[in-house]
Amino acid sequence: MSALEGRTVLLTGASGGIGAALCDALVAAGAQVVAIGRNRVRLQAIAARHAPGRILPVIADLADPEGPARIVATASQLQPTPSVLVLAHAQGAFGLFEQQSPQALQSLLNTNLVASMTLIHVLLPMLRTHPQASVVAIGSTFGSLAFPGFAAYSASKFGLRGLMEGLAREHADMPLRFQYLSPRATRTAFNTPQVEAMNREMKVAQDDPADVAAQLVAAIASGRRRMQIGWPEKLFARINGALPGLVDRSLAVQLPIVRRHARS
C-alpha cells in the first residue's frame, strides 16, 4: 500500500503542466487532492478525470493576501485534514536581468518565495497535528545551478531551496519532513517560445510531465529530502556546488546563444 493512501494533499499550482500531472499521480497513489490554482476551467477539467471527491478544486491566488486564508479555511473543514503540502506553483522569468522591471522582479519573488513561506507558516499548526506530515517544494535545477537569462528566477529558487533546507534542520527532531525536489526542463506551457527555441539549439533534454510527476510522487511517499531529476543535470548541480569555476567556463561558451534568445 502506498504511503499516501488515504491521506489528504494540498497541491498549489495544480492547473499547471507539472501540477496537473501531479494531481493524477497523487490520486493514483491513493491520496485525496485539494487542487489549488487560479484557472477554474482547468481545475474542473482535472477533477472530472477522477472519481467524485478525489480532487477538490480550490480557486485561490497565492499572491493575494486572502489566498492563504482561503486555503486554510478549506483545509480545516476536511476530514482528514491535509498532512501533505506540495508547493508546485511558480512564475517564470526568462530574460536579461537589466531588462526586467522592478515590478516584475518583485512579483517573481512574491510568487515563488514569499507566497511559499507564508503558506507554510499558516499551515504548520495543522500539519503538526498529524503523526507524520510533509512539506514538499517542487524546485528546479536552477535552484542549484544559476543560469544566465534566469538570474532572478534562479534567485527565487535558490531561496526556496534554502528555506526548505533550513526548515528541515529546524524540525529535525519532529515527525514533520521538508523535501526539496527538482525537475529539470519539462515539456509544459511554462516554457515560453523563446525558452523552447533556446533549449532546441542547446540540445537541452526535456521530460514528459507525467514521468516527472511519477518520480516526484515516489519521492514524496518515500520521504526523500532532496532529489534532482535528470542526467547530466544531477552531475552539473553537484559540480556547481563543489567546483563552480568549471560551470562558469562551460556556460560562458553558451552565453551568446542565451543572450540572443533572451533579447528576442
| Tens digit of pLDDT at every position of the chain (264 positions) | 679 999 999 999 999 999 999 999 999 999 999 999 999 999 999 999 999 999 999 999 998 888 999 999 999 999 899 999 999 999 999 999 999 999 999 999 999 999 999 999 999 999 999 999 999 999 999 999 999 999 999 999 999 999 999 999 999 999 999 999 999 999 998 999 999 999 999 999 999 999 999 999 999 999 999 999 998 888 888 998 898 999 999 999 999 999 999 987
Q: How many CB atoms lie within 10 A of CB 175?
A: 12
Nine-digit cell string for 262:
533572451
Nine-digit cell string for 153:
528566477
Pick the CATH number of 8-263 from 3.40.50.2000, 3.30.420.40, 3.40.50.720, 2.60.120.200: 3.40.50.720
pTM of the model: 0.95
Parse the chain into domains and list their residue ranges.
Answer: 8-263
How does pLDDT run across 44-68, given as a tens digit for each residue? Answer: 999 999 999 999 999 999 988 889 9
Exposure class string for 243-260: b at 16+ Cβ within 10 A, else e: eeeebeeebeeeeeebee
Query: What was the pLDDT predicted at 1?
Result: 65
Burial (CB count within 10 angstroms: exposed 0-12, middle 13-18, buried 19+), residue 93: buried
Q: Of all residues in the chain, what percent carry a pLDDT higher than 70?
A: 100
Query: What was the pLDDT predicted at 240?
Result: 87
How does pLDDT run across 157-201, given as a tens digit for each residue? Answer: 999 999 999 999 999 999 999 999 999 999 998 999 999 999 999
